[in-house]
Structure 1
Amino acid sequence: MDQIKYPILTEKTISLLEKNQYNFDVNIKSTKTEIKKWIELFFNVQVISINSHKLPRKKKKIGTKTGYAVQYKRMIIKLKPGYSIPLFSSK
């Protein structure tokens, strides 16, 4: 359950929703097969394909010390026609 961090909602990803493609940031160690099984089980949908990529690391400076922000892997999940994932709760 902690593999998927949160959905990505930008202009580009909202336009991809029309093509039945959803974007999520997931744990850096997650694999495509793990995420596919989890999505199909939890949301009761059928996944056609999954594309993934790692975002570039961003430097973070706190005082005199520098480090890196937490890095996630981004997955683009394409569902079969007729299936959808509710991104917002209806409450």
Structure 2
Amino acid sequence: MILMSTIKYPLATEKGIRAVESENTIAFVVEKTATKSDIKAAIEKLLGAKVVSVNTHNGPDGEKRAYVRFSNATPAIDIATKLGMM
């Protein structure tokens, strides 16, 4: 799967920003056909950060969201700042 088509954009909501600060997690909107391993590989390649876990959620609005938790070595707040979320 092509990396840029796997990850659409980061989800910058109030709940998402709280997760960045407290849980070292960033939410992304992803392709509906993307698997957890596709998402993990794309994030690690695009951002150069170690991913600990990926949780996915198919929302009622038809979007698939991926909640990506990063290792303690790479704080999510630094990644969010690089992505322009903060």
Q: Tell me the distance in 1 between the aligned counterparts of 2:46 and 2:9.
A: 14
Greater than 3 Å deviation, 4+ residue runs:
none
Q: For structure 2, which runs of at least 5 residues remain unmatched after alignment?
A: none
TM-superposed deviation, 1:3: 1.2
Q: Which residue of 2 aligns with 1:22?
A: 26
Higher Rg: 1
Q: Where does the alignment leave 5 or more consecutive residues of structure 1 unmatched? A: 58-70
Structure having the higher strand fraction is 1
**Aligned residues with identical type, % of pairs:** 37
Distance, in Å, in 2 between the alignment partners of 1:12 and 1:2 is 25
The alignment's C-alpha RMSD in Å is 1.5
Count of residue pairs brought into register by the alignment: 76
The structure carrying a bigger helix percent of its residues is: 2
When the two structures are superposed, what TM-score results if normalisation uses the length of structure 2?
Answer: 0.81
Instruction: With the length of structure 1 as denominator, give the TM-score of the two structures.
Output: 0.77
- Alpha-carbon distance between aligned partners in 2 of 1:82 and 1:14, rounded to the nearest angstrom: 19
